[in-house]
Structure 1
């Protein structure tokens, strides 16, 4: 296949580039409307109890979670007659807004203590923006600026989860633009240092830019078949940029190497595609396998990110295999024009004189001390990972300057309530709710007596610690519908914390007078989400291990090496997770990443996507190292020589590739979103650790200790490998033996 592709590119390079240009222009066109086809939702399981509760609330009661609020401040005190009149007028104005439901405030809901701060100079106005997730975002974009500022002498700040998601979207969009402006110049400098030539350095960036636009076209098409999260743009843009540069780097490096060996341009193209091209294909397959296991998690946020990232990885490979060779055909020997760094590009030095060869021999002379030393270091780094805590995103993922974050911090500091995180208990099939007032009151009283409950609001009034705290007001009629009722359980703790999830379980366990009860609200979504996540994770990890084991066996023919490779990758990932906990969960080294809000937990999407991406990229490096080791072992029959020679022949270009893709994601540290910063720290750390400590020390040490057992397999498996096994190397299309002297540096 790669030979035929080389023939096509050599015959019609201009036609290939014109066709690519058409797709690039189409991608640029659709990218302008891409965000309109994406959703900010997708964080809940649509088959969960909490999701069904939300549907009943919306359809039966025309109600939802409070997602918009106004924080009102006045030094005169909120009970001052003039302030109360202004606060009531503000509430009435908000009640008249189209698309808002259940608007109430301290002044219109009977002056509950939960809606005023401890000092008595602030109060809350709460409401629900109706509609789906994207409708909510469009409406809050209009409401927030209309109410922020001064109103009849009152100081008004907007907040709530609707504003949080809007500001989240705005921040993420700005982050992409800013990171792009940083990444391209930095990568250009690094590529010039690698190649020395401006033309050679610019080529991977040109291909990366074209690939990013073609990826937008592919993702736009994907939105017609699957729901896609807004965050696919961030992830796929930078994953595509990193992989496109990575793959282009491999192909350009191999092409220049073949030219230095004396091959003419057509033969150099054929050899490059047969060797480096095969490397690129396997790389994309490995990344796709690692990401595909995320598809078993029943959340739109993950299925859309995974499917988009898989498409991105495969498209990066395809683009690199077509666009780079076509450009190389057009450039020919001019690939080294505009040299900015003068260096001698002669034949490669003898393998045994190289840095990686000497390092491998050093490690293999003392494998146990080196392995123990590095293992101890990695375990120390990974130790904090045992305390990893996950939570759903809220206002605290935003920068401290965000309006929603500022309002939320005031609420946490000054209010004894979690009004935005109510647990909603929905009962259907109750007949006339008014006729069952006594049962509703008893149920509400028992729920209010549960630990960590601040208040329960129901049709019959409000309840605190098992006692009636307020008689029913006009606002309480919202809890009534034909043949149904619901209750709001206001937590006294953070509803998205472990204590909030425990409260959800207590509410569900409490005996109800009604036969059909659903528990929803943000804390219930959190509890259901993590219950489903932990239920599916073993399946995802099992599929990942099986897929990687099969691929590694087909590449190496060994039953032991796949296990060694996966164990070492897990070690580097544990160190990465430990660093994330130490920085983002515990709040250390914030000067390094920026002043983020420390919540004592990490946004749940970060470890999952980081694991899939880092595992795929780390295994990508190890897979092709092991394949090269296998080739050297087949040629020499000596384990030590195979490891040292294979490591030397994979070392330089793999290191360059790791540095380039790490720089791409390091740009995310400039983000205003804490979870984006976490990926910007975690992914480069995992990649660089794998490319240095794991590849340079742990892998040679383990392979030295295993000896000939590295290459053992029982007879039936040897026959399977002989028939279906694959190899990274390829025969020289030019028939020149010199092209076999130093196979492509593998990833």
Structure 2
């Protein structure tokens, strides 16, 4: 499928670019006003008791607007709030507010207006002197140095109320100057000023990410790729992703409720993921070009390898974020909807628009750069670099690496034991934010009037004669519970905050009683005791903001185990279908759990224990439970994402014949630099959100930064290679029935041998004089980024079947009309001869592919009759060279191009190799070789040191072939193949031995 996508994108590159860019641009323009369609609701569990009680009270008594806006007034020294002249000026302020915004505020709670509770109004609405005195007693401090006015804002839902408050908010600017009240301090507290502060902070976060993160990321990519063009492409894909996501979210907002917090999270996730995917695609494309492929072949191979891995990675992240949909809070559902859209677009654009642009650019991908930076390393050079050396060192000392790493991660988990959960409050704003300062000052001066009252909502039958006595008894029991600022009362108070409602049509009545908490941290215990009171046969609901928060926390915590199980099962199933192993998903889950636990420990140490609070400008306090769930989903998805990229490269090398040790080294070497760069880019993006004024965004940003640093360095580059080295070939194990199932429905895809567009130019034909052996450009062995082929039979492991049969040897040599026909053994003999004394590589890097990564598959060696081969010159046969580096002496070297001498065919036996046991097929009897032309005698061989005899005996009639040589080395346990010889010759560097 991905090969077809790559071919289609290359053929239709201009159409793909035009259509998708136009589509993303249109969605971006459509969603430019998305904030107007987002909701302020969705923080609580709609199925909880507290929500049910709040709905009943709101329908019966009307929505409680007393906490919408609190105008806190502090007169200058020498003046008190009960001064008549001062009170008259406050009345003028209220009157002007009502005149300027009659549709939003009103003095009276009629005509759908919530009304204003004003202690300075001595006789409004016929309240009477007693009511006025009660309001003054509650809304003025005892020393009369502070007072407040409660202003209700019209609106039937949170979003409408907030928008209306933003409309009247400018009215409160410079009140002291406008009304000739020098020295008087006016502060705005209440729910709406705090909500407006958070909303504004989230908008600032998005602008900050656009202004800071994008330029810094582009600069980092410039140093990663060494060119402006290559650096801009991932950022361009990130911009398209965000534009498309905004349009899709606006469409969703028309269908369901989306919380305003979702836009910031979607920007964070979508931008980071899209840039990472772009980085992987561009890196792989440049690598394929460096290996000598044409632009068309490079595009197709990039989509078939990196593109497939990107899609699979996106599937894993989507599965992790989809687990958020199991929680009832609309806030988490909103984030899930937006994140799913952004991840989908990031993957889709990365395998369509980005390859199409690469197809147009071709080798100009490195344009506008610095030559010493844009130099693309070949696979051989990458494997010989820092990450390859690090992987080699780790696998030499697996226990010494794994043990301290695990101890370190476990130590970081310890602070998580101090975790505490809380709800939204003013504490989520910076300590110096005006709304937070005002709210804290209000709570201090009027502790009995805190905005987070606990409420008892009693639903009773009006025909019950004992209903009033029962309600009074419930109130008495509630007042026995300590920790409240005032008693629960069955009578209506002066502020109109509690009351009784009766519906004559239905016969039901509603009684609401409320009281504030002295310490909000005791809310959970107070709610538990209130709910334990005998309901006297009535319907009693505990509601109010503290109950709403606690019920939301309980619902989140109760569903966390199910979420964890789903995460492990879904991602494990997908990884099994991709890799064909049940060990790898288990290992990945354990590695991710270690990283996630360490991250949560670090967050607890910072945000709850308070380390670094003054530097980061926040107040330590309980963690918002919904954010914890969101962090778990995001970090689990990202950690598994990097695991996929690392394992995909290992499995790709494994499928091409590498041993487990070699596959680990190759995978780590090729992904180390890219994963580190991708993690650094995400750290920059999340770091921009880490500067947010909203503590919730700091939670997410700091959590992602900690997780990325741990995951991309300590876990992926140290712990994973060491654990896989200790597991050895068991990494690829799964029961046979599961292997058969995976082979039928697995996600792996093989690069087809017969696709000429994927075959690189033959390196050996580009050498001076050619190979003279008729070896035509060998097709690559079937490769896959997603499936491993075991090197030898292991109990419980299936033999290569189905699509993997192409890894087996061909059924004998091809027939020819005349002349000797080279067999696979003779072909390998010639290759070993060339490896022993390889010719010099062409001068230009891109004039031929890297032999270090040239994978030889026996199925890909095409047999060519002698008359079809180019006839090279007949140079003198060079003196044979010792090949002690492969562990055995070389029998006399045959001149290049000479016919294959007849020899005794060894008995058929299984040949252990990197692609599993391959039974030797029956061979036809060798034909009589024609007499070669007279050639100059080769000089006498140089003396060489004695070498221990090889396991396979040699006879004059049976010279040792390359195939036997490789089999012997495999029997010895080192599994040295032609690929290894090529790597050694080209890299000129000692590789770590597999047996270590």
Aligned counterpart in structure 2 of residue 294 of structure 1, from 324, 331, 339: 324
Give the conservation status (yes or no) of the 8 Å contact 1:259–1:268. Answer: yes
Distance 1:369 1:257, change over 3 A: closer
More helix as a share of residues:
1
Partner deviation per Cα, 1:126-174 (whole Å, 9 max, x = no partner): 3543420111101221344334533684533111112211221112112
2:641 matched residue in structure 1:
620
Write the distance in 2 (CA, Å) between the matches of 1:71 and 1:103: 14
Distance 1:146 1:509, change over 3 A: farther
Q: Cα offset for 1:180?
A: 0.9
Write the distance in 2 (CA, Å) between the matches of 1:489 and 1:567: 48
Give the conservation status (yes or no) of the 8 Å contact 1:195–1:201. Answer: yes
Aligned counterpart in structure 1 of residue 235 of structure 2, from 182, 186, 205: 205
User: Is 1:501 matched up with 2:524?
Assistant: yes
Q: Cα offset for 1:365?
A: 2.5
Matches within 5 A, 1:119-518: 120-129=144-153, 130-147=155-172, 149-150=175-176, 153=181, 155-340=185-370, 342-343=372-373, 344-350=375-381, 353-417=384-448, 419-431=450-462, 438-460=469-491, 473=494, 475=496, 478-482=499-503, 483-495=508-520, 497=521, 499-513=522-536, 515-518=538-541
2:987 matched residue in structure 1:
none
Write the distance in 2 (CA, Å) between the matches of 1:622 and 1:663: 21
Distance 1:263 1:645, change over 3 A: closer
Write the distance in 1 (CA, Å) between the matches of 2:417 and 2:315: 31
1:597 matched residue in structure 2:
619
Give the conservation status (yes or no) of the 8 Å contact 2:57–2:512. Answer: no
Distance 1:261 1:644, change over 3 A: closer
> Which shifted more, 318-327 or 8-17?
8-17
What SS class does the counterpart of residue 342 from structure 1 fall into?
helix
> Which shifted more, 499-508 or 691-700?
499-508
> Which shifted more, 406-415 or 606-615?
406-415
Give the conservation status (yes or no) of the 8 Å contact 1:391–1:602. Answer: yes
1:465 matched residue in structure 2:
none
What SS class does the counterpart of residue 205 from structure 1 fall into?
helix
1:469 matched residue in structure 2:
none
Structure 2 regions of 5+ residues with no counterpart?
A: 99-104, 121-131, 762-778, 787-996
Partner deviation per Cα, 1:48-72 (whole Å, 9 max, x = no partner): 2211222222211113263322212
Distance 1:81 1:509, change over 3 A: farther
What SS class does the counterpart of residue 350 from structure 2 fall into?
helix
Partner deviation per Cα, 1:553-593 (whole Å, 9 max, x = no partner): 22232222211111111111112112211222222113543
User: Is 1:664 matched up with 2:685?
Assistant: yes
Q: Cα offset for 1:741?
A: 9.4
Matches within 5 A, 1:24-173: 24-64=24-64, 66-74=67-75, 75=77, 76-80=79-83, 96=107, 100-101=113-114, 103-104=116-117, 108=132, 110=134, 115-116=139-140, 120-129=144-153, 130-147=155-172, 149-150=175-176, 153=181, 155-173=185-203
Aligned counterpart in structure 2 of residue 709 of structure 1, from 727, 730, 737: 730
Give the conservation status (yes or no) of the 8 Å contact 2:289–2:298. Answer: yes
Write the distance in 1 (CA, Å) between the matches of 2:599 and 2:748: 31
Write the distance in 2 (CA, Å) between the matches of 1:641 and 1:16: 39
Write the distance in 2 (CA, Å) between the matches of 1:501 and 1:228: 28
Distance 1:504 1:309, change over 3 A: same
Residue-pair matches, total: 732
Write the distance in 1 (CA, Å) between the matches of 2:666 and 2:377: 20
Q: Cα offset for 1:702?
A: 1.8
What SS class does the counterpart of residue 400 from structure 2 fall into?
helix
Give the conservation status (yes or no) of the 8 Å contact 1:427–1:514. Answer: no
Give the conservation status (yes or no) of the 8 Å contact 1:208–1:241. Answer: yes
Partner deviation per Cα, 1:103-139 (whole Å, 9 max, x = no partner): 4366646158765558652233335434201111012
Give the conservation status (yes or no) of the 8 Å contact 1:561–1:710. Answer: yes
What SS class does the counterpart of residue 368 from structure 1 fall into?
helix
Pair member with larger Rg: 2
Write the distance in 2 (CA, Å) between the matches of 1:474 and 1:725: 68
Distance 1:372 1:156, change over 3 A: same
Distance 1:411 1:473, change over 3 A: closer
What SS class does the counterpart of residue 582 from structure 1 fall into?
helix
User: Is 1:723 matched up with 2:744?
Assistant: yes
Give the conservation status (yes or no) of the 8 Å contact 1:254–1:744. Answer: no
1:570 matched residue in structure 2:
593
Write the distance in 2 (CA, Å) between the matches of 1:388 and 1:9: 50
Distance 1:709 1:201, change over 3 A: same
Give the conservation status (yes or no) of the 8 Å contact 1:653–1:745. Answer: no
Distance 1:473 1:696, change over 3 A: closer
TM-score when scaled to structure 1? 0.91
Write the distance in 2 (CA, Å) between the matches of 1:669 and 1:713: 43
What SS class does the counterpart of residue 393 from structure 1 fall into?
coil
Q: Cα offset for 1:318?
A: 0.6
2:607 matched residue in structure 1:
584
Write the distance in 1 (CA, Å) between the matches of 2:511 and 2:94: 23
> Which shifted more, 102-111 or 647-656?
102-111
Q: Cα offset for 1:536?
A: 1.7
Distance 1:404 1:719, change over 3 A: same
2:567 matched residue in structure 1:
544
Give the conservation status (yes or no) of the 8 Å contact 1:651–1:745. Answer: no
Distance 1:741 1:655, change over 3 A: farther
Give the conservation status (yes or no) of the 8 Å contact 1:61–1:478. Answer: yes
Q: Cα offset for 1:359?
A: 1.7
Distance 1:510 1:113, change over 3 A: farther
User: Is 1:525 matched up with 2:556?
Assistant: no
Q: Cα offset for 1:341?
A: 5.0
What SS class does the counterpart of residue 447 from structure 1 fall into?
helix
What SS class does the counterpart of residue 485 from structure 2 fall into?
strand
Write the distance in 2 (CA, Å) between the matches of 1:146 and 1:664: 37
Give the conservation status (yes or no) of the 8 Å contact 1:290–1:615. Answer: yes
What SS class does the counterpart of residue 203 from structure 1 fall into?
helix
RMSD, aligned CA: 2.9
More strand as a share of residues:
1
What SS class does the counterpart of residue 554 from structure 1 fall into?
helix
Distance 1:494 1:128, change over 3 A: farther
Write the distance in 1 (CA, Å) between the matches of 2:449 and 2:606: 27
Write the distance in 1 (CA, Å) between the matches of 2:464 and 2:196: 37
